[in-house]
Structure 1
Amino acid sequence: MVTISLCMIVKNEESCLERCLNSLKGLVDEMIVVDTGSTDRTKEVANAFGAKVYDFKWTGDFSEARNYSFSKASCDYIYSADADEELDEANRERFLQMKRDLEELDIDIVQMYYCNQLSFRTVYNYDRELRPKLFKRVRYFVWEDPIHEQVVLDPVIVNSEIEIIHNPAENHSSRDLCSFRKAIEDGKFLSRRLYGMYARELMMSGTDDDFFKAKRFFEESLQDTHRSLDEIKEGSCILSHIAVIEGDVAALLKYALKDAITEMSSEVCYELGDFYYSQNDYDEAIVWYYNAAYECESILDIQKSKELPRLAIAKCYKALGNNELAQDYEKEALEVQKEE
């Protein structure tokens, strides 16, 4: 049977690390825990499970810490996990069967289902998605084709049925937003993926201060010819929100129109609803909240097209004295929330 190294980076995870390691006990052959500055009992918990614990000075770069953890592994495969993940008994069995199967297969990466996202308002707008979680530690390059031969470069990836339960004890958005800001301050270019994740994290969890600190970056990004139309729309969502906070009508119009280059997003419609609600123009607010809920789609925060605009419509009808319609929309908001 192949051997597996568990590799983790942690900081102040005593509340959930024991649950995670318990769920992997007997499945992995070594546990590598890289601590980036815990002040609680995290390292004690890891040591109790026989983990090899290493200290790593936090640099603000998650990849550096992950790479360091991988460098300490010695088994055939590396399983990358976070402290707020766990496997239930059914998925422990699937994991063990996968481990047996890998003995007969030449697989580079195994993907597993990451579950329970929507319960915790994470930056992912879906509840179950495949993610690469298990990696062959040493990859051998071979030649293929009898003529015009070439080295095989593409990894062999398989999808498993293993489901990992994501069960965070706290929201990490503040930490993540600080990391985004540090990367920008260090002059690093945010890739298409990270740009969208920064915008999504702000929209779903950011405070007013987080938005203000991001303002200059997104303003400049809309002038960057390297940014795609999707990124322009995402940046426009962020800047529209800031305009509503600041009561800047001209800026709201500017960024709402940028979003309207294609079909408007639910997020910008929702911001327009918020603006008109702040002006006590409840009828106009209803129009835009309605568009957010029924006519458009979300690009950052799925709840801006689900229960949130419906609850906002209910709030408007209450302000207008129509409690019957308000109750109808509140009921619909609850039904939409259950569907998620």
Structure 2
Amino acid sequence: MITITACMIVKNEEETLERCLNSLKSLVDEIVIVDTGSTDRTKEIARKYTDKIYDFTWIHDFSAARNYSFSKATMDYIYVADADEEIDRENQEKFLFLKEAMLPEIEIVQMYYTNQLEYGTTYNYDKEYRPKLYKRLREFKWQDPIHETVTLDPVIYDSDIEIIHRPTESHAKRDFNNFYVVLNKGERLSPKLIHMFAKELFIAGDDEDFIKAGTYFNEWQKDTTRTLEECVYIQCVLAKYARLQGDIELLMKVSLKNIASKSSSEVCYELGEHYFELGDYEEALIWYYNAAYETECQLNIHYGGDYPLKRLAECYGKLGNVEQMNAYEELAMNWSV
């Protein structure tokens, strides 16, 4: 049977930490908790479950804190947990079975992350795989009889274990602030972070968030070293930013670039919103239809689904076409992720 260290980074988690640790205590052999500055009862609660509690000065870098927690682990595998997660009885049994039956060549185990949409900030699905269990020490082996090379891709196993995500609030504002801390240091966001920033804006951001972020995205669109995919994400954000700011020139500029390269549901939807606000419902229909049926969403799947379908119903209602209005209302109502 393998041994497991649960590694956590926490800050002011007194509302959820005990629930999480109760669900983990019989599954793991060691619990490592790294506290990044709690001022509540977090460490007091943690001491009921482990004496391996470490302080880490918060430097607005989750990776640094995670790496520090990993450095304190001593078991065969590391399970990464957040304080707002829990594992129910059925999945605890699955976890223990996995622990007993784990093949030594497996280096990463993915588990289902569930209940994501209630307070999701970067999620399009209520249940999806996440890597949760990692082999602490990895062995590198040579492969192929000639032109030999070291195996770099990890061996990943997709389990049927489900982790329940039960946050007490949305983390969107915290995440946006962390993006700005990085940006204000003058650091360049990686393609992954450009994607995550744009995705989080479309899933959890409000108009003020788009307006604040848009000034940064407007600069990034001028960077000719950005990849096509980065440009598409930037264009999606800028289309909404431009509409909110009433900057029609910018709206048309980014929309035309988007349509000429990789048409996105988000951009078509924003064009529909522009014409809807003008009262030009026939033109709005074209763009909402393209958002729903002719393009792919890049950041939030609702922009290619129920959002434009609802707007299509409203447009037909404004134009007096009750039959089409009812049809699209039904499609929107029956649309699901």
Q: Residue 78 of structure 2 aligns to a residue in which SS?
A: strand
Aligned to 1:108: 107
Q: Percent identity?
A: 54
1:242-300 CA distances to partner (integer Å, 9 max, x unpaired)? 11001111111001001112342110111011111221222322222222122221111
| Distance change >3 Å, CA 239–CA 142, structure 1 → 2 | closer
How is 1:1-340 mapped onto 2 (pairs within 5 angstroms)? Answer: 1-50=1-50, 52-102=52-102, 105-141=104-140, 153-320=152-319, 325-336=324-335, 339-340=336-337
1:44-87 CA distances to partner (integer Å, 9 max, x unpaired)? 33223335322222111110111111122222211011122222
Structure 1 unmatched ranges of 5 or more: none
- Provide the C-alpha distance between the structure 1 equivalents of 2:181 and 2:22, rounded to a whole number of angstroms: 34
Q: How many residues align?
A: 337
For 2:95, the aligned partner's letter is F
Preserved CA contact (<8 Å) 2:10 2:35: yes
| Distance change >3 Å, CA 331–CA 168, structure 1 → 2 | farther
For 1:72, the aligned partner's letter is K
Q: Residue 44 of structure 1 aligns to a residue in which SS?
A: helix
Preserved CA contact (<8 Å) 1:30 1:51: no
Q: TM-score of the superposition, structure 1-length normalised?
A: 0.90
Preserved CA contact (<8 Å) 1:113 1:128: yes
- Provide the C-alpha distance between the structure 2 equivalents of 1:14 and 1:318, rounded to a whole number of angstroms: 50
Q: Residue 48 of structure 1 aligns to a residue in which SS?
A: coil
- Provide the C-alpha distance between the structure 2 equivalents of 1:77 and 1:324, rounded to a whole number of angstroms: 59
| Distance change >3 Å, CA 97–CA 320, structure 1 → 2 | same
- Provide the C-alpha distance between the structure 2 equivalents of 1:273 and 1:146, rounded to a whole number of angstroms: 58
For 1:131, the aligned partner's letter is R
Structure 2 unmatched ranges of 5 or more: none
- Provide the C-alpha distance between the structure 2 equivalents of 1:121 and 1:110, rounded to a whole number of angstroms: 22
Q: Residue 224 of structure 1 aligns to a residue in which SS?
A: coil
> Which range moves more in the overlay, 218-227 or 194-203?
218-227
Q: Residue 288 of structure 1 aligns to a residue in which SS?
A: helix
- Provide the C-alpha distance between the structure 2 equivalents of 1:223 and 1:40, rounded to a whole number of angstroms: 45
Q: TM-score of the superposition, structure 2-length normalised?
A: 0.90
For 2:88, the aligned partner's letter is D
How far the C-alpha of 1:154 sits from its partner, in A, is 4.2
Preserved CA contact (<8 Å) 2:114 2:126: yes
Cα RMSD of the aligned pairs, angstroms, is 2.4
For 1:34, the aligned partner's letter is V
- Provide the C-alpha distance between the structure 1 equivalents of 2:47 and 2:27, rounded to a whole number of angstroms: 17
For 1:8, the aligned partner's letter is M
